[in-house]
A and B are shown apart, each in its own frame.
Chain A
Amino acid sequence: MGRRLRAAYDWFDERTAIRSLLRKGLYEAVPVRGAWFYTLGSATLVLILLQLITGIFLTLLFVPSVTEAWQSLNYLKEHDAFGSIVRGIHLWSAYILLFVIGLHMVRTFFSGSYKRPRELNWVTGVGLFVLVLGMAITGAFLPWDQAAYWTAVVVTNIPAYTPFIGSFIRALWRGADTVGPITLSRTFGIHVWLLPAILFPLIGAHLALLRKHGEFGSYINYRGAYRSREGVDVPPAPAQRPIEPPYPAAPSDELWAAPLETEDFYPHQTVKDGIISAALVVVVFVLAVVIGAPLEAIADPATTNYTPVPEWFFLPLDELLVLVPQQLIPLVLVLPTGGVLLLLALPFIDRGPERNPFERPAVMVPGAFAVLFVVILTLLGSGRLFNL
């Protein structure tokens, strides 16, 4: 039996070169120390795939029409327990995905993984972050319940404050001056087709670049970490351990080109990735079953006692909308846009070879401020929401 299987595998390998592909994919070298922190990227990928799969199955029921969207989801809620769990997974996985992608971004920021030659890895990553945020926002419109409808109204209104072309952008998205049937259809198309069509090739590029240069890790994996401001000599390279592909990263200076200690991606890193991803999926599943995805009352544009409440990841922006006085409202657009532009420019601002975050405070401290501002705005926003 074993011989037949091996023969079949050989037949397949002759025609597809699967063996060398797997060897290249699975047995690549990754850094050893701190490996648990480096599982965040794969956790993000797993959650995105979870979204893709649950999303596909949701399109087997959901109708993107203003008269039927809520009805189809309400039908799911009333008559389909398993379908409701799928919808719950789709919601909670989205919430947790945004949190994990934030952690992943903070980790790669502080470890200096965006430095030469991995700048484009970071740039594609920022693009992915913006696209995932776009997926979350557009997905929130679709149920057409009170929460979705008013989210659609407020979110599509934000670009209206862009000077000159603001109301044009708003009308482009809404398909008219007010939120209506065209808005739902357009947003559905954007959420299900347009954004994923950009997102998945970009993920491919992000992963391909990762494979090309190798996982950087962080400063604790390199000889460069042993250099300090007092000019202590860097210890000599350890007695000859072969440097395995994809290292040394080229071009990269000698102290940061190859980790001191590496191991095979499969099974050592994949088990860690697997544990973290599985744990997150378990959390998502439990939340989906216990809390599920809420469906509020059907959208009622005439309401005068509903208070629109933003999604948790929108809290910092919402708090900003409360605080910024009317003469300075364009700030609400300038700050997030400026933030994204700064993120994109980061590898080109911080060009020095030093990777230790504690030795490059001029970049790390403003980054820490930005994170602190977002956290503080979120806290203040959530405090406000309890007292509406």
Chain B
Amino acid sequence: MAHRDPRRLSRRQFGVLGTQVSGAVVAVLLGIPIIGFLISPLFRQQQAVWRKVGDISGVPDGEPTKFEVTFPQGAWTTAENNLAVYVVKNGDNTRVFSNVCTHMQCPVRWDGSLHQFLCPCHGGLYDINGANVGGPPPKPLPQYVHRIEGTTLFVENRFTEEI
């Protein structure tokens, strides 16, 4: 047998390597778009919108009152979502709470007999200032970024702090 240069690929080695490389090429070309597709919505900025809630002059002091606000659902759909909003007035101070529980995001409601916000899923309790005072919720009730023009309340689809 003539002396072979060990740095040269044998026929077999070429076959093995070629199979692996072509497989890798297919995987990469397929993988990049798919992974990009999966995670792209996370980098899409949510469009900030302001929506009118309504006239809050009739809201009594110290009595959380439910209003509904309509926000876009996002993506391609034109159908919009109604969301619940609790307006709490304390003299000049007005707070606008979302009813999304900070535990598992169940719908919170104001319970007059307990004088607290109650989450029915796991018994979470928030006081009239939104502080989490009972049960598993780890954070206070989220508040919407809002502005009041005269007696009309406007709300942006953004919380003052992330939950």
A, B assembled together: yes
B73 beta carbon closer than 8 Å to chain A: yes
B160 beta carbon closer than 8 Å to chain A: no
Cα A316 to Cα B73 in complex, Å, equals 32
In the assembled complex, which residues on chain A have CB atoms less than 8 Å from the CB atom of B61?
none
Q: Which of B73, B79, B135 has the most CB of A within 10 A?
A: B73
What range describes how many residues of B lie at the interface?
A: 35 or more
In the assembled complex, which residues on chain B have CB atoms less than 8 Å from the CB atom of A172?
38-39, 42
In the assembled complex, which residues on chain A have CB atoms less than 8 Å from the CB atom of B60?
none
In the assembled complex, which residues on chain A have CB atoms less than 8 Å from the CB atom of B110?
304
A69 to chain B, nearest CB (A): 12
| Chain B positions 19 through 60: 1 when the CB is less than 8 Å from some CB of chain A, otherwise 0 | 000000000000000000011011010100000000000000
A270 beta carbon closer than 8 Å to chain B: no
A321 beta carbon closer than 8 Å to chain B: yes
B86 to chain A, nearest CB (A): 9
In the assembled complex, which residues on chain B have CB atoms less than 8 Å from the CB atom of A325?
136
A130 to chain B, nearest CB (A): 20
Cα A153 to Cα B41 in complex, Å, equals 18
A162 to chain B, nearest CB (A): 14
Please name the residue on chain B nearest to A310 by beta carbon: B121
Q: Which of B39, B79, B136 contacts A324 (CB 8 A)?
A: B136
| Chain B positions 44 through 87: 1 when the CB is less than 8 Å from some CB of chain A, otherwise 0 | 10100000000000000000001010000111110101111000
In the assembled complex, which residues on chain A have CB atoms less than 8 Å from the CB atom of B73?
66, 180-181
Cα A47 to Cα B91 in complex, Å, equals 62
A182 beta carbon closer than 8 Å to chain B: yes
Q: Is the interface of A mostly helix, strand, loop or mixed?
A: loop
Whether A157 pairs with B104 at a CB distance below 8 angstroms is yes
Please name the residue on chain A nearest to B137 by beta carbon: A326
In the assembled complex, which residues on chain A have CB atoms less than 8 Å from the CB atom of B89?
none
Q: Is the interface of B mostly helix, strand, loop or mixed?
A: loop
Please name the residue on chain B nearest to A325 by beta carbon: B136
| Chain A positions 122 through 166: 1 when the CB is less than 8 Å from some CB of chain B, otherwise 0 | 000000000000000000000000000010011001100000000
Please name the residue on chain A nearest to B120 by beta carbon: A307
In the assembled complex, which residues on chain A have CB atoms less than 8 Å from the CB atom of B109?
304-305
Cα A171 to Cα B38 in complex, Å, equals 10
Indicate whether A158 sits within 8 Å of B107 (C-beta atoms), given known contacts A172-B39, A302-B82.
no
Whether B136 pairs with A178 at a CB distance below 8 angstroms is no
Whether B74 pairs with A178 at a CB distance below 8 angstroms is yes
B17 beta carbon closer than 8 Å to chain A: no
B103 beta carbon closer than 8 Å to chain A: yes
Q: Which of B75, B120, B122, B135 contacts A175 (CB 8 A)?
A: B75
A18 beta carbon closer than 8 Å to chain B: no
A329 beta carbon closer than 8 Å to chain B: yes
A5 beta carbon closer than 8 Å to chain B: no
A10 beta carbon closer than 8 Å to chain B: no
A95 beta carbon closer than 8 Å to chain B: no
Please name the residue on chain B nearest to A156 by beta carbon: B105
In the assembled complex, which residues on chain B have CB atoms less than 8 Å from the CB atom of A321?
103-104, 121-122, 136
Q: Which of B41, B74, B106, B123 contacts A150 (CB 8 A)?
A: B106
Cα A119 to Cα B57 in complex, Å, equals 69
Cα A66 to Cα B73 in complex, Å, equals 9
Indicate whether A181 sits within 8 Å of B138 (C-beta atoms), given known contacts A168-B42, A172-B39, A326-B103.
no
Q: Which of A168, A178, A318, A321 has the most CB of B within 10 A?
A: A178
Whether B75 pairs with A181 at a CB distance below 8 angstroms is yes
| Chain A positions 167 through 210: 1 when the CB is less than 8 Å from some CB of chain B, otherwise 0 | 01001100111101110000000000000000000000000000
Indicate whether A300 sits within 8 Å of B122 (C-beta atoms), given known contacts A178-B74, A181-B73, A321-B104.
no
Q: Which of B76, B99, B121 contacts A181 (CB 8 A)?
A: B76
Whether A154 pairs with B82 at a CB distance below 8 angstroms is no
B132 beta carbon closer than 8 Å to chain A: yes
Indicate whether A153 sits within 8 Å of B75 (C-beta atoms), given known contacts A301-B82, A326-B132.
no
In the assembled complex, which residues on chain A have CB atoms less than 8 Å from the CB atom of B103?
321, 326, 329
Supplied contacts A157-B104, A172-B38, A172-B42, 5 more A-B pairs, CB within 8 Å: A302-B82, A304-B66, A308-B120, A318-B122, A321-B104
Q: Which 3 A-B pairs have the closest CB atoms?
A: A304-B109, A302-B82, A326-B138
25 interchain pairs (CB within 8 A)?
A150-B107, A153-B104, A154-B104, A154-B105, A158-B104, A175-B41, A176-B41, A176-B46, A176-B74, A177-B46, A180-B74, A180-B75, A181-B73, A181-B75, A181-B76, A182-B74, A302-B82, A302-B84, A304-B107, A308-B121, A321-B121, A321-B136, A322-B122, A329-B103, A329-B138
Chain A contacts to B: CB under 8 angstroms: 65-67, 150, 153-154, 157-158, 168, 171-172, 175-178, 180-182, 300-308, 318, 321-322, 324-327, 329, 388
